[in-house]
Structure 1
């Protein structure tokens, strides 16, 4: 039966993958007949970490791309390739876990419809780690991905998070590193002083920091993002 493995990737690529991945991943990757990834550069860097049986090397593994530019027809063609393969295929995100904040979910659904066996391997997720480390509760939460960039739309979105029926949920969202400071300023302007804001920055890296404070406290502090990836977590009370 054809198999698709959902494989973990690192959040900080300078780290040793053995610290964050189970040994199962080291066993699976050398057996892959191909890898589905967002970019070929990241896919090759990922494969280079693993030891392949000679004469096979990381350069010999076919790579097919899946990103925001992939059409519905191309996704069907990806699945057709996996379905016809005698060796398992893998699916990775550029960082973190496949299918979380990346287009992998579409491929998983198509694979299920084709009867392809799917197995997921655990690994680091910035979304999950930020929620765990925030202290703001994970019973009911919403991940919003990227928020609107236009100031007015962003303000409206933030106000929705603190209004019924969403006010009792924990809200998570991300931003590109160079816009972290601008988003932080907007949060301090729009949210009430009693709202909680947790910022998880550079998770799993040597520069990791996680701080949880009320907005009133954040207004007295300017966080230093240093162009690091950050996850923002908000709770109304």
Structure 2
């Protein structure tokens, strides 16, 4: 079978007894970075030296089939550099193909930066969405953020420290400067830090530079108190003022959380 094994995201003490015993008995480990995994084995005091096969973003598509086929006759342990494989890490294609091929897949639960950040952020946890890394190009990033602005679930992002200040400023611009958020840095490590505040406050704090591995948690949009009728009237007023219908519906949607598609359709129907 395929065994997805969660590894520590910082503190080696978070390695479970099940993870240790699995690595002690493994004959084959597919790893995001074989050098990193070899070091992890040494640090955990694992004497076993399994065959290490590199499995990363650039070769997963071509290696998935051979790993799944091999898993028909022996266990394949799959690990990423930290946390649970397949969650913004390699492994998805292997699991997808294994499921299609009837090869069993199981998981050895453990550390997750997404869940850890969500738990400590101090923001609602009943409903959330993980968005991974935002696009690097400003135009693409802006488009994604405009689409996410009315999302009422708590949002979780990964970000590189060198791009954190820019991303927080973009979030403030798209979501509103007062939207509550938390920047979780170096989770489970010696210099762990959770900085909470508004997006505007966090952007100003990050402007001086931040180091370490970063998870950003952003509170969801407040429920709109604007009725669909009032929102439609606002769209119509904007159009009379010279805005294109598409731009007007998008702006009102972002401000109210109401569906841009439904506002657009209602405006067209009202014209008929």
Q: Aligning the two structures, in what range does the TM-score lie when normalised by the shorter sequence?
A: 0.7 to 0.9
Number of paired residues?
220
Which residue pairs with 1:6 in the alignment? 4
Q: Please, what TM-score do these two structures have when normalized by structure 2?
A: 0.73
Post-superposition Cα deviations, 1:154-198, rounded to whole Å, max 9, x if no partner, equal 2232222222xx2x1111111223222322233334431221121
| 8 Å CA contact retained: 2:161, 2:212 | yes
2:92 matches 1:122: no
- Give the structure with higher Rg (CA): 2
TM (normalized to structure 1)?
A: 0.83
Question: What does residue 261 of structure 2 align with?
Answer: none
Q: Does residue 40 of structure 2 align to residue 65 of structure 1? A: no
Q: 5+ unaligned residues in a row in structure 1: which ranges?
A: none
Shift of the 225–50 alpha-carbon distance from structure 1 to 2, 3 Å rule, reads: farther
Partner of 1:30: 24
Report the 3-state secondary structure (helix = DSSP H, G, I; strand = E; otherwise coil) of the residue aligned with 1:123.
coil
Distance verdict in 2 for CA 1:129–1:225, change over 3 Å: farther
Partner residue of 2:39 out of 45, 53, 57: 45
1:83 aligns with 2:72: yes
In 1, the alpha carbon distance for the partners of 2:134 and 2:122 equals: 22
Distance 1:153 1:118 in 2: 35
Q: What is the SS of the residue equivalent to 1:152?
A: helix
Could you tell me how far apart the structure 2 residues matched to 1:28 and 1:129 are?
23
CA change 1:113–1:151 in 2 (3 A) is: closer
In structure 1, distance between residues paired with 2:93 and 2:203: 41
SS of residue in 2 equivalent to 1:145: strand
Cα separation, 1, equivalents of 2:90 and 2:29: 15
**8 Å CA contact 2:61, 2:93 repeated in 1:** no
- Structure 1 pair 70/213, CA: closer, same or farther in 2 (3 Å)? same
The 1-side partners of 2:200 and 2:168 are apart by 13
1:152 aligns with 2:150: no
Q: CA deviation at 1:71?
A: 5.0
Change (3 A) 1:79 1:150: same
1:209 and 1:224 map into 2 onto residues whose CA distance is 16
Please report how far the alpha carbon of residue 140 of structure 1 lies from its aligned counterpart in structure 2 after TM superposition: 2.1
Shift in Å, 1:121: 1.4
Distance 2:199 2:211 in 1: 22
- Who is 1:187 aligned against? 171
Structure number with the bigger relative contact order (C-alpha 8 A, sep ≥ 6) is 1
State the alpha-carbon separation in 2 of the partners of residues 216 and 105 from structure 1. 35
SS in 2 for 1:111: helix
1:141 and 2:125 are equivalent in the alignment: no
**SS state of the match for residue 72, structure 2?**
helix
